[in-house]
Every structure is written in structure tokens, then in C-alpha cells.
Amino acid sequence: MGLLSWFSGESEADKRATEIRTGTVAPSRAERQRCWDARDAYFSCLDANGIFDALKEDKKAAKACGTQSREFEKDCATQWVTYFKKWRVQEIQKKARLKELEAQGAIKMDVNTDFASRK
């Protein structure tokens, strides 16, 4: 893909996008936001299709959310894509665990790890 576009004459924007995907450059604020938006769209598609782990259920995810997945992978660094997918699994587990604890009657408390008391 990279080779093909290189032969066809890569534009500045494409070059930049490739650099972000490979992690050669860090994305700017606007580029980060674009990546996060693509991620959120992809995740809501996964939610709608009841997909829990996009890495393990990759075939199912590709079939159900192919368009969003392509956008997500286009706008984010490859490392970020993997990171966000793992993060989503943990986040779902965390929320489920919290719900379970709440059902058992656990009390949510704010924990301060510093030494000063809040007023």
C-alpha cells in the first residue's frame, strides 16, 4: 500500500498520515482529536454489535464495523489502535465489576492519595 502510493506520487497530507501511523512523528492536537473521533465511532459500532474484544473477535469486528475500522486505522498510529482496543476491554471489565460491587451494596468512595485533607 505504502509502496503503491509512493509510486503514484504521495501528497504531503498522505505522507504526514503515514508518519503518524508508523509513529515517526507525534500527532498534533487536531490530529489527535481526529484519531479520538474515529476511535469513538469505531467503539460505538462495536457496542452496537455486541463485540467485547476487538482483538480476539477481529473477524467479527471487521465484518460488522469494517468502515469504522478503516477510518480508525487511517487516523491513528498503529500502536494507538492496539492500545485503545485493549483499553476498551479493560474499561468494560472495570465498569462491569463496579456494577457488580454496587449490586452487592458496596459504597463508592473518593480516595485521595495525597497527604493534605480536602476542605
Partner 1 sequence: MSHFTTPARAVGNALSKAPLRQSSRLMSTCLNASSAARPAARCVSRAQLHQQLAQRRTFKTVEEAKSRYRSGPFTWKAGILFVVTAAGLLYYFEHEKERMRHKRIADSQKGVGAPKVGGAFELVNHDGQTFTDKDLKGRYSLVYFGFTHCPDICPEELDKMARMFDLVQAERPGALTPVFVTCDPARDGPKELKEYLAEFHPAFVGLTGTYEQIKAMCKAYRVYFSTPAKVQPGQDYLVDHSIYFYLMDPEGDFVEALGRQHSPDQAAKVILAHMKEWKGLPQAA
Q: Minimum Å distance from CB 73 to partner 1?
A: 13
C-alpha dihedral over 7, 10, 14, 16, to 10 degrees?
110
Q: What is the C-alpha separation between 69 and 73, in angstroms, rounded?
A: 6
Q: Which is nearer to partner 1, 45 or 80 (CB)?
A: 80
CA-based nearest residue to 68, from 46, 85, 89, 51: 46
Q: Minimum Å distance from CB 67 to partner 1?
A: 22
Which residues in this chain contact partner 1 in the complex, by CB under 8 A?
22-26, 28-29, 32, 36, 77-80, 83-84, 87, 110-116, 118
Q: Minimum Å distance from CB 96 to partner 1?
A: 21
Place of cell 502510493: 5
